[in-house]
Structure 1
Amino acid sequence: MHIFKNPARILEQMGHDIWIFGRSSDVTKDLLEQYSLNSEVLVEKEPTNIINLCKIQAKYEYKMINKFRKIRPDIVISQSGVAASHAAKLTDAKNILFIDNDHATIENRLSKPFADKIYSPNGFKKHFGKKHEFYDSYDYLAYTHPDYFEPNTEVFKHLNINSDANYVLFRLIAWNAAHDFRAERSTDFKKLIKKFDELGYNILISSEETAPGEFQEFIIDVPPHLFHDLLYYSNLYVGEGAATALEAALLGTPAIYLNELNLGYLTEFENRYGSVKDLHGHSTDDIMKNAKLMLSNDFNANSIRKQVAEEKRDMTKLIVDSVSEVHDR
């Protein structure tokens, strides 16, 4: 959802009519309200298993097709969007598809045949033919780039710490996406939290699911539109979400990724810049050894952020230009 907010505003200023459709969750609704763009949540249920996911997906596609038949869009832009690709094809709209998840095999197979143009970052491990174009950037730069992101201290009104406090942010994901159902949690987060607590850091946990009882004292409830501010002010991010790990690094916060799903864009970033470390399967001691190095004064994640912004393509401009390119065909 974040990736399209700035391009949508620019395209609207250029005279395009913009509609944004989303699926489920309080997060989506909060973000759409904050964007002040023409938007609607079509399905509000979250999937709990693969069968439930299929049912919700079918309902989502049905509603989206009906919406498209009413508004008759010329171009549909989506990020790994199965429903959007299908609805675009059935209503004679052109579809621009952004894909960066190597493990979203099912979603990619169901969406790519119907796309008119596919874009992926250089780290993406697969190639889908002539209509597939690679770019030297990251989707998340569309909203974390210094030109577009302005940190907001309002986030501290929702925390029990001061704005100058040191804290480590943990993120536990909900394993309910199609590419998540086979993944398993192996990291002992209880041990890690104890280690960081002993170092004197405040512990904050953001969880997509109900966290175990021993974590409850650390659970935070921050409005979704302030989550990236929470990341920005963190000393370190530790978590299972690949996108969040890269978002943290792009905001100048070092990140430790703990998930068996290996993403091409994250590997490329780690090898090139180093402010994200994929330490899934490593011992608690090894994770802490890396964490201490990343928390030291010698490690400058903000400098890396500036370097990335200078070297990588402007993702917002790329999305806007993709619309003009496909529209003019």
Structure 2
Amino acid sequence: MNVAVFVSTPAQFHFYKNIVRTLNNSGVKVYILARDYGETLDLLNETGFEYFVFSRPPKGAKRILSLPSDIHRAVSWLRNKNIDIVTGFEIYGAYTSKLLKVPYVQFYDSEPSIHKLLSIQFKLMMPATDVVLTPESFRDNLGRKHLRIASYKELAYLHPNYYKPNDDILDMLGISTGEEYAVLRFNAFDAAHDEGIAGFSSGDKIKLVKELEKHVRVFISPEGKIPKELEKYVLKVPKSRIHDVLYYAKLLVTDTQTMATEAALLGTPVVRSNKFVGPNDMSNFIELEERFGLMYNITDRNRAIEKAVEIAQTEGIKKEWRGKREKLLEKKIDMTSFMVWFLENYPESLEEFKQNPNIQYRFR
């Protein structure tokens, strides 16, 4: 069996890394196609995966202009590799699969209804998509191709079956025994679905650091530029070790999406604030806050800073959050094991799931 995997972002790399390893170990040949975006290639290089760069697009909505040439490049590279199935998160894999005349299995965790550009992208993708898998909390109904899974994309790599924290990261950070620290993650807001979305301003970032460092050490993981006076706080550890940094942190404060979920699933308190937050926010963030109590989604940046400072001063909060994490894991499945089963056994796996969706709970 030959599988093509499209990896366009760091989060997508993490989602697929254990899936690819498990498929390879079972004798499946996997071809990774990577987009040169953010830290994606850095992660692939650090972890030793072989890949083909199919896209180096411009930022934001302009990347639609490079779509035809990107898909052509992907198809040309895969054409003689006898691909049986394609999987990914985006439109690249969808149209590549159709040109190769093979099925496309997509994972998706951003409701199209939350943003006009997402809605347009999704309408373009669905005709070329055979199956779309989403978290069970997904608010939008995507029709007959839609399967809801009791998991998050982040549990493909942060489930205890795969993720084991390594406390040598504390030495790398220069953290002494008993010392507490916070991680701040700031978004570049340069993806297509980020058009018109904003988070912490430069002034907010400076205020946040000044207030937090009265109580804890502060480290910043920026996607884009940050004020010059904050550059000394930038994390200087390998990109592949960010989850250990999050696991041992006292809290994460962020205006991003994926890392907010990652920290929550690792049992670290999260304060998330950006213009997505509100009644039409993505369902996974609402579920993590309202069902599991692992995250605070706050629209007002000043209130978000106040909540972060409050958490920084709260004793024993990590123990409380670890307990919440355990309750979540009782309800969710191992996303990697499920995806491996689904891809290896497609299309029979699709029919089995349709007849009995509870089959997924085999993969706890």
Of 251, 276, 283, which aligns to 1:264?
283
Counting aligned pairs with the same residue, the percent is 28
Shift of 1:154: 4.5
Deviations 1:147-186 (A, max 9, x none): 2101234434653444653111000111111110111235
In the alignment, the residues of structure 2 paired with residue 291 and residue 319 of structure 1 have an alpha-carbon distance, to the nearest angstrom, of 39
More divergent stretch after superposition (169-178 vs 122-131): 122-131
In the alignment, the residues of structure 1 paired with residue 183 and residue 165 of structure 2 have an alpha-carbon distance, to the nearest angstrom, of 16
- 1:311 is matched with 331
The letter of the residue matching 2:100 is T
- 1:82 and 2:102 are equivalent in the alignment: no
Aligned ranges 1:243-262 → 2 under 5 Å? 243-261=258-276, 262=281
- 2:358 is matched with none
More divergent stretch after superposition (145-154 vs 255-264): 145-154
- 1:192/1:221 CA distance change after superposition, 3 Å: same
Deviations 1:176-205 (A, max 9, x none): 111101112355222222111122x11111
- 1:296 and 2:315 are equivalent in the alignment: yes
Of 48, 55, 74, which aligns to 2:59?
48
- 1:149 and 2:160 are equivalent in the alignment: no
- 1:28 is matched with 40
- 1:91 is matched with 100
Shift of 1:49: 4.1
Of 68, 71, 75, which aligns to 1:58?
68
Contact 1:96-1:117 at 8 Å conserved across structures: yes
In the alignment, the residues of structure 2 paired with residue 291 and residue 147 of structure 1 have an alpha-carbon distance, to the nearest angstrom, of 33
Contact 2:289-2:296 at 8 Å conserved across structures: yes
Shift of 1:65: 1.3
In the alignment, the residues of structure 2 paired with residue 8 and residue 324 of structure 1 have an alpha-carbon distance, to the nearest angstrom, of 12
Shift of 1:287: 4.0
Contact 1:19-1:37 at 8 Å conserved across structures: no
- 1:192/1:142 CA distance change after superposition, 3 Å: same
In the alignment, the residues of structure 2 paired with residue 304 and residue 147 of structure 1 have an alpha-carbon distance, to the nearest angstrom, of 18
In the alignment, the residues of structure 2 paired with residue 109 and residue 164 of structure 1 have an alpha-carbon distance, to the nearest angstrom, of 51
Query: What are structure 1's unaligned runs of at least 5 residues?
Result: none
Q: Secondary structure at the match of 1:77?
A: strand
In the alignment, the residues of structure 2 paired with residue 33 and residue 49 of structure 1 have an alpha-carbon distance, to the nearest angstrom, of 25
Q: Secondary structure at the match of 1:198?
A: coil
Of 237, 241, 247, which aligns to 1:222?
237
The letter of the residue matching 1:83 is Y
Q: Secondary structure at the match of 2:65?
A: helix
TM score, norm. by length of structure 1: 0.90
Higher relative contact order (CA 8 A, sep 6+): 1
Contact 1:94-1:326 at 8 Å conserved across structures: no
Of 235, 239, 255, which aligns to 1:240?
255
- 1:121/1:193 CA distance change after superposition, 3 Å: same
Query: What are structure 2's unaligned runs of at least 5 residues?
Result: 1-12, 352-364
- 1:323 and 2:343 are equivalent in the alignment: yes
Shift of 1:292: 2.2
Aligned ranges 1:112-261 → 2 under 5 Å? 112-156=126-170, 158-162=172-176, 164-186=178-200, 188-199=204-215, 201-261=216-276
Contact 1:101-1:263 at 8 Å conserved across structures: yes
- 1:19 and 2:39 are equivalent in the alignment: no
In the alignment, the residues of structure 2 paired with residue 189 and residue 36 of structure 1 have an alpha-carbon distance, to the nearest angstrom, of 35
Contact 2:167-2:244 at 8 Å conserved across structures: yes
Deviations 1:8-42 (A, max 9, x none): 22222222111111100462223223444442222
The letter of the residue matching 2:160 is P
In the alignment, the residues of structure 2 paired with residue 94 and residue 179 of structure 1 have an alpha-carbon distance, to the nearest angstrom, of 25
Contact 2:38-2:223 at 8 Å conserved across structures: no
- 1:163/1:70 CA distance change after superposition, 3 Å: farther
Two-structure CA RMSD over aligned residues (Å): 2.2
TM score, norm. by length of structure 2: 0.82
